[in-house]
């Protein structure tokens, strides 16, 4: 199976998992916070692994995965912390997830800039999604909400929003090799040129 296709499928699956985790937080805000930490730890480990794998996939446009090595390691470390110390970090789960969502949003701003330079028409949708994710992350990071259940619901909304944006990015920016005459040819030295019509 094509490695880029496999990485894209894994990316989509992890985005759906992120959305499902967000729905879980929204629907069960009063559920044991410690168990939710464990669930989020597992999701973070899987998501981090997906990002590290995606970084080495060399998809055609090289947009969705370009920052994912560092981000994948960061998310995997968050997953390990959540799994090994769920009782100790339960009060910081909103801060940790806020930091995760904010960092992802910052990287997606850069992705939108690269998409604009690449000539993609919907680059601004990536930018808007990144700014929304960043705003959610800031609200969680600075603890601007009161009430445990409200925080958990907002954590869920943040994860759902981030997962939905990842799905959009997956379908819009990850291209499997197999060029049409109008797609860029990417050479081994990274130079991109358009084919002559």
Give residue 104's pLDDT band: very low, low, confident or very high (50, 70, 90): confident
Give the residue, 84 or 176, on which the prediction is more confident: 84
Output the average pLDDT for the chain: 77
Distance CA 13, CA 1 (A): 16
If you average pLDDT over residues 1-24, what whole number do you get? 82
If you average pLDDT over residues 96-121, what whole number do you get? 84
> pLDDT digit string (tens) for 23-65?
988 888 777 777 878 888 898 899 888 888 877 766 555 555 6
Give residue 16's pLDDT band: very low, low, confident or very high (50, 70, 90): very high
Q: Which residues make Cβ contacts (< 8 Å) with residue 191, sequence separation at least 6? A: none
> pLDDT digit string (tens) for 126-170?
899 889 888 888 888 887 665 567 788 888 888 898 889 888 887
Task: Output the pLDDT for position 196.
Answer: 37
If you average pLDDT over residues 98-107, what whole number do you get? 86
Decide: helix, strand or coil at residue 192: strand
Distance CA 189, CA 114 (A): 18
Q: What percent of the chain is helix, strand and coil (3-state, nearest 5)?
A: 75, 0, 25
Task: Output the pLDDT for position 121.
Answer: 83
| Claim: this prediction has a pTM higher than 0.75 | no
Task: Output the pLDDT for position 189.
Answer: 38
Asked if 183 and 192 count as a contact pair (C-beta separation under 8 A), the reply is: no
Task: Output the pLDDT for position 60.
Answer: 53
């Amino acid at each position: 199976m094509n490695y880029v296709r496999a990485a894209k499928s894994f990316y989509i699956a992890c985005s759906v998992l992120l959305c499902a985790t967000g729905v879980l937080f929204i629907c069960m805000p009063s559920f044991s916070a410690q168990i939710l930490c464990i669930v989020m730890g597992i999701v973070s480990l899987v998501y981090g692994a997906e990002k590290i794998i995606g970084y080495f996939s060399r998809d055609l446009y090289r947009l969705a995965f370009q920052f994912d090595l560092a981000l994948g390691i960061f998310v995997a470390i968050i997953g390990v912390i959540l799994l090994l110390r769920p009782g100790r970090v339960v009060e910081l789960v909103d801060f940790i997830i806020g930091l995760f969502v904010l960092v992802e949003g910052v990287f997606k701003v850069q992705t939108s800039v690269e998409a604009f330079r690449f000539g993609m028409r919907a680059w601004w949708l990536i930018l808007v999604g990144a700014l929304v994710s960043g705003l959610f992350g800031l609200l969680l990071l600075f603890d601007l909400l009161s009430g445990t259940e409200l925080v958990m619901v907002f954590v869920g909304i943040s994860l759902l929003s981030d997962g939905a944006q990842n799905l959009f990015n997956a379908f819009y920016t990850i291209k499997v090799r197999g060029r049409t005459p109008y797609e860029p040819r990417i050479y081994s030295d990274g130079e991109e040129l358009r084919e002559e019509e």
